[in-house]
A and B are shown apart, each in its own frame.
Chain A
């Protein structure tokens, strides 16, 4: 069978599986819709959490980013796993014991305030939409490259699939679909990684392969060889980053705390039967996530090594097939600066901005560009970092079925995350805004209907964002983590660990963290992107890492305000007492 036929087959089979599971497990009550009835086994829940968490960004983009960032890429590896330690130790068991459906539920009840609940809902919706737009773009990339359909059609197909199992199945359908999606995506990630590790080092375990010697008789370690080849091209060594230590520190911290504050991750721990299961479940989620996250740095280093050796100093006529395929999709480009017909890689940008292709081809058959050439360096090759994982099997000349598997895995990752986010958005609208704020007398049936309508509307908005990605989408992903770290995390943490925290303190803290972080990111990312350089940053901290300062401000303002205002009422004291002990965690239920 041709590679293309295999791709259709694998993707088709995986979609049929997801839809089958969705029909089999569809939700009948709000409780099943919001928290899967609260009866999911911790290991299954850990797997679903892992699939929910690992988005198109983790599957498709992360290894590519690390490949080009080297040591600096560690911020993602530590940031997106370390957050689970905070979740398991500091938040999950207590939130499960608390026993309602959503993060705004907790904040609204613990701080006895509709204002606090509404602030939490606003944070949540903003965080979730930012995040979901990125997923839809991931779906678009995979469809357009592998299924040979337009990005628009690809996004619409993706929307229909998600609609089917998120709207019908609710949390119950999503949880079991995500278990299947985890299996698909981790298999799809590991198989090429193992093959490539064997090809390059002879060691079948990629985590060990990264620390092994290259198989070419040179007697050099993988990282040593990579450092050396990059330095020959004028780059800094791979194992030594270019970001300042304080920036690496703050970005890692913002990603960790942000992870622990992301509503679609937290809500996962409402679905297990007991408070102690929430701890166990977070542990399993971390194991399933770590499998991919410890493989990613190996994939990254191998990909960079292969990419350099396949492309650098090769004449365009002999360029490998994948190079020309991705050039056709506009994600790779080549300008022959010195007119020698060879592709040279060096440090620096080949031209200004993203590639804009002209009609027609150059003397060697390459696509011509209208961009202004950057003549200050000798780099001739533009490559979109997002393609590294998808192109990896082709670069390593692996068989067609591996490529098909990766396509199915990329879709599984994007769809599972999109579905989880849609559920959080629809729950926030139906439960937190409608039921708890504006229309408390709504029936369970009405609430379930509202949740489904809200999920449908959210899918349409997400799809539109995926088809017409506003230029700022990629720019504002930092928002999601920064805002979660600066707004939701401190409010939840203090709600559990400091009895004296009152509504005035929590609201003031959340608003301070939110406004500070939002303004800082908006200023450097949207309003004045030219000023976004280290010299202008506060304490040398980039917008990606500023959420940590927002968090510190949140804590500080909340504690000061709480000292100056009336302490929380006695029943809140009793509530905090009760969430601190695991005994007596009933089902997740609406109060």
Chain B
């Protein structure tokens, strides 16, 4: 859960610490999007979004049954790609 990141103890040693902080920043951002498309658009704001339509779908309903899943996939692949770059930057890749 993204709100627990505040408890992370500050890392001590150079590269590993900077790498970890950058990782956490990325995680917070991506988990926020994860929350917004599913719990946000699909549940909390669904009644509001349902007044708009794409094709035959009420928008909130579409997020709940289709859209959120597409975004989930994009999030995981973006994270994989971005982390690889961050790891190279700090020379920590496997």
Interface residues of A (CB under 8 A from B): 71, 73-74, 77-78, 81-82, 84-86, 88-90, 207-208, 210-213, 221-224, 239-240, 245, 248-249, 252-253, 256, 274-276, 279-280, 282-283, 286-287, 290, 293-294, 297, 493-494, 497-500, 555, 559, 577, 580-585
**B8, B62, B87, B94, most chain A CB atoms within 10 A:** B94
Min distance, Cβ A68 to any Cβ of chain B, angstroms: 15
B93 touches A223 (CB 8 A): no
A279 touches B42 (CB 8 A): no
**A71, A212, A287, A494, most chain B CB atoms within 10 A:** A71
CB-defined contacts of B68 to chain A, threshold 8 Å:
77-78, 81-82
The verdict on A74 contacting B42 (CB below 8 Å), with A207-B66, A239-B58, A276-B80 known, is yes
The verdict on A88 contacting B4 (CB below 8 Å), with A221-B55, A290-B72, A582-B94 known, is no
Q: How far is the CA of A274 from the CA of B83 in the complex (A)?
A: 14
Min distance, Cβ B62 to any Cβ of chain A, angstroms: 7
Q: How far is the CA of A512 from the CA of B43 in the complex (A)?
A: 29
Q: How far is the CA of A290 from the CA of B73 in the complex (A)?
A: 8
Q: How would residues 66 to 80 of chain B score, 1 for a CB under 8 Å from any chain A CB and 0 otherwise?
A: 101110110111011
Q: Which residue of A lies closest to B68 (CB)?
A: A78
A82 touches B34 (CB 8 A): yes
B-side binding surface: helix, strand, loop or mixed?
helix
Q: How far is the CA of A71 from the CA of B61 in the complex (A)?
A: 7
A283 touches B77 (CB 8 A): yes
Min distance, Cβ B28 to any Cβ of chain A, angstroms: 10
CB-defined contacts of B76 to chain A, threshold 8 Å:
84-85, 88-89, 279, 282-283, 286
Interface residues of B (CB under 8 A from A): 1, 4-5, 7-9, 11, 16, 19-20, 23, 27, 30-31, 34, 38-39, 42-44, 46, 50, 54-58, 61-62, 64-66, 68-70, 72-73, 75-77, 79-80, 83-84, 87, 92-94
Min distance, Cβ A12 to any Cβ of chain B, angstroms: 35
Q: How far is the CA of A84 from the CA of B75 in the complex (A)?
A: 10
A82 touches B94 (CB 8 A): no
The verdict on A583 contacting B61 (CB below 8 Å), with A77-B69, A81-B69 known, is no
Additional A-B contacts beyond A71-B64, A581-B92 (4; CB < 8 A):
A74-B42, A211-B55, A212-B56, A585-B94
Q: How far is the CA of A490 from the CA of B84 in the complex (A)?
A: 26
19 contacting pairs across A/B (C-beta < 8 A): A77-B68, A78-B38, A84-B72, A85-B72, A89-B31, A211-B55, A212-B56, A213-B56, A223-B56, A223-B61, A248-B43, A252-B38, A287-B73, A293-B69, A493-B1, A497-B8, A498-B7, A498-B8, A582-B93
CB-defined contacts of A88 to chain B, threshold 8 Å:
76, 79-80
Min distance, Cβ B36 to any Cβ of chain A, angstroms: 12
A-side binding surface: helix, strand, loop or mixed?
helix
Q: Which residue of B lies closest to A209 (CB)?
A: B56
The verdict on A279 contacting B27 (CB below 8 Å), with A207-B66, A212-B55, A497-B7 known, is no
CB-defined contacts of A222 to chain B, threshold 8 Å:
56
CB-defined contacts of B77 to chain A, threshold 8 Å:
283
B23, B42, B54, B73: which contacts A211 (Cβ < 8 A)?
Answer: B54
Across the A-B interface, the 6 shortest Cβ-Cβ residue pairs: A221-B56, A211-B55, A74-B64, A283-B76, A297-B65, A582-B94
Q: How far is the CA of A84 from the CA of B73 in the complex (A)?
A: 9
Min distance, Cβ B14 to any Cβ of chain A, angstroms: 12
A223 touches B27 (CB 8 A): no
A280 touches B80 (CB 8 A): yes
A249 touches B8 (CB 8 A): no
Q: Which residue of B lies closest to A577 (CB)?
A: B16
CB-defined contacts of A493 to chain B, threshold 8 Å:
1, 4
B54 touches A498 (CB 8 A): no
Q: Which residue of B lies closest to A207 (CB)?
A: B66
A252 touches B43 (CB 8 A): yes
B27, B44, B69, B87: which contacts A276 (Cβ < 8 A)?
Answer: B87
B56 touches A245 (CB 8 A): no
B20, B31, B56, B69: which contacts A210 (Cβ < 8 A)?
Answer: B56
B44 touches A275 (CB 8 A): no
CB-defined contacts of A583 to chain B, threshold 8 Å:
87, 92-94
Q: How far is the CA of A45 from the CA of B18 in the complex (A)?
A: 31
CB-defined contacts of A82 to chain B, threshold 8 Å:
34, 38, 68, 72
CB-defined contacts of A283 to chain B, threshold 8 Å:
73, 76-77, 80
B64 touches A245 (CB 8 A): no
CB-defined contacts of A256 to chain B, threshold 8 Å:
38
The verdict on A211 contacting B7 (CB below 8 Å), with A249-B39, A276-B80 known, is no
A223 touches B57 (CB 8 A): yes
